[in-house]
């Protein structure tokens, strides 16, 4: 049996939480491998709704959850999330959750500089959540980050805070924002240490043991390929690599351990925040998609921009993301629409292209070229087999497969856990 990596194939918010939850029933362990608490996964189980940001979705299934070294961890946010899901009846203990001891911590100064810099951009905002994710990743590559293991060494914390404050207080002062006290930060970290350290370990070693024992590992990504810091619509991207290759480096396993790569895509397109969005709709259809799909960010509460399915973009994400199969979600949101459009490419300054270019100006100039299909009047909501789907809905899915050059492996027809059509079990490889 293969391992499985789940990544987003658009701009995030594709429904990864439900898909990971559904796949977790077949897995032994679920690993988050990048991002921070800017990711939001919503899981609907019966009458209970779980909104997770840092915790691996498999915890809802009672599976071992691992937060890998590629994740940046806000300890206060993590502890608050643990308390929340415990209040909803989930068991989260050091026996069910492990955190990489080499994962980077987000400190209070990180969201402070994040928000201050975003405010200073004025009309050129990137659309960051302001939660300190980017600055924490900056510290990681600048080799000044405080990591989980450092919580066990007060002298190390003290020395690293000196370096951090030398850097950040100068920036904060220049932006007209209050600076931070070393004593306050150090005291806060020392109080958090006994709450975080029981979860910490070299998770690469545990994952190696699980692999050798034949256990199935589900790697859970955050955001999506088109928000990848290298391959996305830069600079309107997240601060980490979101492609499947990061599942290896972000958890401490070899690339051969990643297994089958499943890309999640909505049957239409959404985006939160700023940045290019060629198929965005500013009309009644865009409003309808947002209303029906309840398109609001889990963490930000911001309304998502909505548009037609962009097959050119998803094809690009599939190629650079290593996607082998698609999980298509929210097909039911299109029920009742008489006409549907699929973007097959872009006209950029008079030239046709099947991909979004790297240059921001060219991205902004991309005009979608559409293929039009008939919609369907019948309901697809709750379908659990191809026979339950309207014939035209099947044609729509098949055309998407052709255009993105990848098969639909799973098809989701409602937020409910079991309203899923499995074409192929990803764990079969």
What SS3 state is found at 244? Answer: coil
What SS3 state is found at 265? Answer: strand
Catalytic hit among 13, 74, 139, 332: 13
DSSP result, 179-225: ---HHHHHHHHHHHHHHHGGGEE-HHHHHHHHHHTT--EEEE--S-G
Tokens for 282?
């500013």
Based on the residue annotation, tell me whether 13 is a catalytic residue of this protein.
Answer: yes
Catalytic hit among 41, 110, 332, 419: 41
Instruction: For residue 223, give every residue at least 6 positions away whose Cβ sits within 8 Å of its Cβ, in sequence order, or none.
Output: 8, 11, 12, 35, 38, 39, 238, 240, 242
Q: Tell the residue number behind the tokens 């949101």, with chain if given.
A: 333
Q: What is each CA distance from 81 to 90, 187, 299, 323, in whole angstroms?
A: 11, 22, 12, 30
User: What is the separation, in whole angstroms, between the first and last Cα of the chain?
Assistant: 7
Based on the residue annotation, tell me whether 41 is a catalytic residue of this protein.
Answer: yes
Give the H/E segment covering residue 348.
strand 339-348
The beta strand positions in 354-407, using DSSP E, are: 367-374
The answer to whether the CB of 304 falls within 8 A of the CB of 13 is: yes
Active site residues: 13, 41
């Amino acid at each position: 049996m293969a391992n499985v990596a789940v990544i987003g194939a658009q701009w995030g918010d594709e429904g990864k939480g439900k898909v990971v939850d559904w796949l977790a029933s077949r897995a032994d362990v679920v690993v988050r491998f990048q991002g921070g608490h800017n990711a939001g996964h919503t899981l609907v189980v019966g009458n209970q709704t779980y909104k997770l940001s840092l915790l691996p979705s498999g915890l809802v299934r009672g599976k071992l959850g691992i937060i890998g070294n590629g994740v940046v961890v806000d300890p206060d946010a993590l502890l608050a999330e643990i308390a929340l899901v415990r209040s909803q009846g989930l068991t989260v203990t050091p026996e069910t959750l492990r955190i990489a001891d080499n994962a980077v911590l987000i400190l209070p100064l990180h969201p402070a500089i994040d928000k201050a810099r975003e405010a200073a951009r004025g009309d050129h905002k990137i659309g960051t959540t302001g939660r300190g994710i980017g600055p924490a990743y900056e510290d990681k590559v600048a080799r000044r980050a405080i990591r989980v293991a450092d919580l066990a060494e007060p002298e190390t914390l003290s020395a690293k805070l000196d370096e951090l404050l030398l850097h950040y207080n100068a920036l904060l002062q220049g932006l007209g924002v209050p600076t931070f006290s070393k004593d306050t930060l150090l005291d806060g970290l020392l109080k958090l240490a006994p709450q975080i350290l029981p979860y910490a370990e070299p998770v690469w070693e545990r994952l190696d043991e699980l692999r050798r024992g034949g256990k199935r590992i589900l790697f859970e990504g955050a955001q999506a390929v088109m928000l990848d810091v290298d391959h996305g619509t830069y600079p309107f991207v997240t601060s980490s690599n979101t492609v499947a290759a990061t599942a290896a480096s972000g958890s401490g396993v070899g690339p051969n351990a990643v297994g089958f790569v499943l890309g999640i895509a909505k049957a239409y397109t959404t985006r939160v925040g700023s940045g290019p969005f060629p198929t965005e709709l500013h009309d009644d259809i865009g409003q309808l998609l947002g209303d029906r799909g309840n398109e609001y960010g889990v963490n930000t509460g911001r309304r998502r921009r909505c548009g037609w399915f962009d097959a050119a973009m998803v094809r690009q994400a599939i190629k650079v993301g290593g996607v082998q199969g698609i999980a298509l979600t929210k097909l039911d949101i299109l029920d009742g629409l008489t006409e549907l459009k699929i973007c097959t490419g872009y006209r950029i300054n008079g030239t046709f292209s099947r991909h979004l270019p790297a240059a921001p100006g060219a991205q902004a100039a991309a005009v979608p070229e559409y293929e039009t299909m008939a919609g369907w009047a019948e309901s697809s909501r709750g379908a659990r087999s191809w026979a339950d789907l309207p014939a035209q809905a099947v044609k729509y899915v098949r055309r998407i497969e052709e255009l993105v050059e990848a098969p639909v492996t799973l098809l989701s027809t409602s937020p409910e856990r079991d309203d899923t059509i499995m074409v192929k079990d990803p764990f079969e490889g």
